[in-house]
Amino acid sequence: MTSVAEVKLALEQSCEFLRDAYRSVREAESALDDALEVLAEADANHQDALVPPGFLKAKEGFAAQLELIVRSLDLVQRLTAEL
């Protein structure tokens, strides 16, 4: 049988994983912004578009992913507090 303490520990570990995920997504967002900036500068001197459409689509998705992580973290923290 699993104790409440074990469940709390698992939830606290989940919180750490979610925090790590948040940091990773922010770092990925920053790296993509840097790449887009470099490509935009190079694009000015090139006849073909250098920015892949997938990059722009990925950029749009970061906000939703971060929001999902934050909401999930909030829910896990509330559940942990209730135990």
Structural domain total, the chain: 1
What is the Cα–Cα distance from 38 to 62, expressed in whole angstroms? Answer: 19
Radius of gyration of the chain (CA): 19
Sign of CA dihedral 25, 27, 29, 31: negative
The predicted model scores a pTM of: 0.83
* pLDDT tens digit sequence for 16-57: 999 999 999 999 999 999 999 998 888 878 778 888 888 889
Q: Give me the domain span that covers residue 71.
A: 4-82
What is the Cα–Cα distance from 66 to 72, expressed in whole angstroms? Answer: 10
pLDDT of 9 over the 90 cut = yes
pLDDT of 1 over the 70 cut = no
What integer pLDDT is reported at residue 2 of this predicted model? 79
